[in-house]
Amino acid sequence: MAQRTVVVASRVGLHARPAMLFTQAAAATGLPVTIARPGGQPVDASSILYVMSLGVPGGEEVTLSAEGEGADEALDGLVELLQQDLDAPEAGA
Q: Write out the catalytic residue numbers.
A: 15
CA-based R_g, the chain, Å: 12
> What DSSP letter does each residue of 34-87 carry, written as one string?
EEE-TTSPPEETT-HHHHHHT-PPTT-EEEEEE-STTHHHHHHHHHHHHTS-TT
What's the DSSP call for residue 31? S
